[in-house]
Amino acid sequence: AERRAEVESLQRRFADEQAGLTERHTTEVGRLKRESEKAVAAVERLIEAREQRDGLRAELRDPFDPTGRNGPLLYVIVATGNIHEDVIQAQAAAQAGADAIAVIRSTAQSLLDYVPHGATTEGFGGTYATQENFRIMRRALDEEGRRLGRYIRLTNYCSGLCMPEIAALGAMERLDFLL
């Protein structure tokens, strides 16, 4: 009888542990499913951004020729520290013939372990690389490109502690080059 009680006790403990494992497994499977759905949505967003960029390049005359027959692209740097002033300089450069605009990052942004948020107006020796700044400049260059009838490329920099994060933001906002 004592042995039987011990066996029944072990069986109950095993059943309780198994139920706990099943519950944890179900929770984990649900979490993994949600994370997988988020990853698929993120990849779809990147594909959509690339298709949008490729569509605009096809719509407008893209000066880039991989064989080099058109010569090199004219690459102009803007770096006021204020994204709104950078837009004005970038538009003027495009009107003067620039094919690619490079927005120089603020001094020492590569040492930050976070990506600043929003439109920035107080960079030092350059403008902070933020998703909103990428979006503002891309929109301005798309508008200017439509006025000029040619595609204008956008470049920024992503080296440093937040390189993967800045690269992802650049891809989402249709930057053409990241250095």
Spatial neighbors of 136 by CB under 8 A, at least 6 apart, are 83, 84, 87, 119
pLDDT tens for the 179 residues of the chain, in order? 787 888 777 777 777 777 676 777 778 777 788 888 898 889 899 999 999 999 999 999 887 887 888 888 999 999 999 999 999 999 999 999 999 999 999 888 888 888 989 999 998 889 999 999 999 999 999 999 999 999 999 999 888 888 999 999 999 999 999 98
Does residue 128 come out as left (phi exceeding 0), alpha (psi in the -120 to 50 range) or beta? beta
Strand order in the sheet with 100-103: 75-78, 100-103, 153-156, 177-178
Q: Would the pTM of this model clear 0.75, i.e. be above it?
A: yes
* Tally of CA atoms within 13 A in the half-sphere of 47 that contains its CB: 6
The number of beta carbons lying within 10 Å of the beta carbon of residue 112 is 15
